[in-house]
Amino acid sequence: MPTSLSAATAEIRIEDLLLNSVDITEFLDSFTGILADRLSDGGDRVWCAVSLLRDKRAATVASSGPQAEALDETQVSFDDGPCLTAIRQHEVTVVSEARDDGRWAPYLAVAAEQGVRSVLGVPFELRGEAAAALNVYSNTPHCFDDVERVARICSEVLQASNALLLGVRLWRQSELAADLHAAMASRTTIDLAVGIIMAQNRCGQARALEILKNASSHRNLKLHDLAGELVESIGRETVETHFDH
C-alpha cells in the first residue's frame, strides 16, 4: 500500500486545494478523491466520503465518486453505522471484515453486497461547532488493521479540519443572512399592508395591525402571505426591499 505524504507536505497540499477550490464542497470532493487514489493500490480499491452532522441530521457533503456517495447515503438512511458512530462518539471506528462484524449488521450487510470488506471512520476536529467524519471504504478485508496506516489517515483528516470548520462557519453565516433577508422582506410587506389598511380605514397603526392579524386568523393564512395579497391586490408589483438592488 502506498504511504501518505508527510504531515508538512500534506498541509501544503491541503492549503493548495483550499485556495484552488470555488467552495468548501469542491475542496472536500478534491480532498476525498486524492485521498482515495493515494490509498488505493492495484486491485485494492478505496472510496472516501465526508458526512456532516448538523442539527442532529446527517448528510453526505463530499465523496470520491458515486460508489462512496451511495455507501454513505445508505448509512445515513439506516441512521446507524461505523461512520455515524465516529461522528456521534467522536472516536475512530474500524470494521476489519464487514461480513463478520455484528455491530452494525443491517448496514454492513448492504455494504458487503456492494463489495465493501472493511471500513474506517475518522472524526474531524470542528471544535463543537458541528460534527463530521471521513468515511473510508475498502474492498479488501483488514485494510485498516495497520495502526500506523490509520494514524496517517487521521493526520490527513486533522490537516483538513480547519478548512471544513471554515466551511461550516461560512454555511452558517450564509443561512443567517438568508434568514435576515427573509425576515426584513416579510417586515416590509407587512408594514406596507398596515399602511394600506390605515389609509382605507382612517385608523392608527395599532388598529390597522390588529385588523390584519384578525383577517389572517379568520382566513387561516400567515400574516406575511395575507399582507402580500393585500399589497398586490392594489396593483403593485411584488414587494422588494432596498437591499435587493
Domains of the chain (ranges plus CATH)? Answer: 7-173 (3.30.450.40), 175-244 (1.10.10.10)
pLDDT at 182: 63
CA-wise closest residue to 187 among 134, 112, 240:
240
Q: Which helix (H) or strand (E) holds 124?
A: none
**What dihedral angle (degrees, nearest 10) is formed by the CA atoms of 144, 150, 152, 156?**
100
Residue 9 pLDDT > 90: no
pLDDT at 31: 80
Q: Which helix (H) or strand (E) holds 50?
A: strand 46-54
Each residue of 14-24: pLDDT tens digit? 567 666 766 77
What is the rounded CA–CA span in Å between residue 145 and residue 94?
Answer: 8
The predicted model scores a pTM of 0.63
Each residue of 23-75: pLDDT tens digit? 777 877 888 888 888 777 766 788 999 998 877 788 888 899 999 999 999 99
Q: Compute φ and ψ for 210, nearest 5 degrees.
A: -65, -40
Each residue of 159-179: pLDDT tens digit? 877 777 776 676 666 655 665
